[in-house]
Amino acid sequence: MLLLKLAFRNILRQRRRTILTVLSMTGGYVLCCLSFSLTDGSYKNVIRIFTMDHTGHIQIHRDDYLQRPKVFKGIDDTPEQRQQIHSQPGVQSIAPRVFTPALAYAGTRNTPVQIVGVDPALEKTTSRLFDKVTQGQYFDATLNADGYYSAMLGIGVAESLRINIGDELILISQGADGSIANDIYIVTAIVGTRNSWDRNKVYLPLSVAQEFLSFYGKVHQYSLLLEDENAVGRITQSLATALPTLTVNPWMQVEATFYNSMEADKRGNRFTLLIIVFIVFIGVLNTVLMSVLERTREFGVLKAIGSRPATIAGLILIETMMLASMSLLVGVVIAAPIIAWFALRGIALPDPIDMGGIEFGFMTGEFSVGVFAWPMLLIMAFAIVVSIPPGIRAARVSPTRAMGSF
């Protein structure tokens, strides 16, 4: 307690210098918190939209379908199978899908497309497909009055073929049994924008796509949405255990390139922050060193009367940690309302960013323990590091040299 008192009184000796040092550390901390909040908030948004747009949080395939997709690599899509997956704790919804490349015709025009067969009702609960309908109406698996099934087109397909709602679309592909698959559909909706990832896709109701591909009772993929996106790893593990014959992948593996580039960007941001904090702490180091040099005689006295070198170094560490703690206290008081505002309101972007056909008009922040705790750890770690050189210097003070004589 006396050592703490001594340290506290020491940092109050030069109050103006202490205030300036505390403010500089506070600035560094607030900046870190803001950066963490905006980075985490933005990426959380991106991940939420990205996973809801097409990957889901977890995907289940047969064998190596993810790496080498073949139309015949299907999963038996039984009610029991779906129930087993859906009943796993943390799984919010499940969407079965089939995929195949095809050639699309309309009039004299044609274009390569990818057919995606989705369950209209389940897909609504798992992805944003329903929200992405820009023209027409979201489809269902019923025949129209003329005996045609519905198809929804990415805008790229509609523009290539110059067709619109109500027009006929001819699809030709190869069935899972090797037969020629071809049929006529009526366009009921256009989805997404020119920037959408699915601009060249044709959506069919799942049962229609299965019939088209002669792929009865099978799907290529189950896409799962989880209640908590942070539980991806744990639930992937439990699903992999529960479904030993299938391949379970988290979205980070499904879209490894996207995930890795996002992580690299995050690391870049963190590194920039480290440099900023490092610069702040060079100033702090200077302050602590000055304080040690000014008190050389006192350290000599403390050593002469029996303080161990480690006790002297510990005193410097305590003083630096006290400065850091004061900064963090002030920093939390300043940062909390700012970050809360960013989380609740966000910054309106002058030019909205289009991401996968979804526009971001606001940059929002994340308000979580981590946003405050990680920068705290960073500041504390730097505080410990910068207390080492002055601490060693103070600990090595020779009492006779420090005091001249007694």
Q: Which residues bind other proteins (CB under 8 A)?
A: 1-3, 5-6, 9-10, 12-13, 297-298, 301-311, 399-400, 403, 405-406
State which residue, 280 or 397, has the beta carbon closest to other proteins: 397
- Residue 250's DSSP bridge partners are 58
State which residue, 18 or 223, has the beta carbon closest to other proteins: 18
State which residue, 87 or 406, has the beta carbon closest to other proteins: 406
State which residue, 16 or 68, has the beta carbon closest to other proteins: 16
State which residue, 3 or 282, has the beta carbon closest to other proteins: 3
State which residue, 168 or 298, has the beta carbon closest to other proteins: 298
What minimum distance in Å lies between the beta carbon of 313 and other proteins? 11
Question: Are the C-beta atoms of residues 26 and 329 closer than 8 Å to each other?
Answer: no
HEC profile for the chain? CHHHHHHHHHHCCCHHHHHHHHHHHHHHHHHHHHHHHHHHHHHHHHHHHHHHHHHCCEEEEECCCCCCCCCCCCEECCHHHHHHHHCCCCEEEEEEEEEEEEEEEECCEEEEEEEEEECHHHHHHHCCCCCCEEEECCCCCCCCCCCCEEEEEEHHHHHHHCCCCCCEEEEEEECCCCCEEEEEEEEEEEECCCCCCCCCEEEEEHHHHHHHCCCCCEECEEEEEECCHHHHHHHHHHHHHHCCCEEEEEHHHHCHHHHHHHHHHHHHHHHHHHHHHHHHHHHHHHHHHHHHHHCHHHHHHHHHCCCCHHHHHHHHHHHHHHHHHHHHHHHHHHHHHHHHHHHHCCEEEEEEEEECCEEEEEECCCCCHHHHHHHHHHHHHHHHHHHHHHHHHHHCCCHHHHHCCC
What minimum distance in Å lies between the beta carbon of 392 and other proteins? 12
Question: Are the C-beta atoms of residues 222 and 76 closer than 8 Å to each other?
Answer: no
State which residue, 61 or 303, has the beta carbon closest to other proteins: 303
What minimum distance in Å lies between the beta carbon of 10 and other proteins? 6
What minimum distance in Å lies between the beta carbon of 238 and other proteins? 53
State which residue, 7 or 202, has the beta carbon closest to other proteins: 7
What minimum distance in Å lies between the beta carbon of 4 and other proteins? 11
What minimum distance in Å lies between the beta carbon of 308 and other proteins? 4
What minimum distance in Å lies between the beta carbon of 306 and other proteins? 2
Cα 332 from Cα 87, distance rounded (Å): 41
What minimum distance in Å lies between the beta carbon of 300 and other proteins? 8
What minimum distance in Å lies between the beta carbon of 290 and other proteins? 17
State which residue, 241 or 400, has the beta carbon closest to other proteins: 400
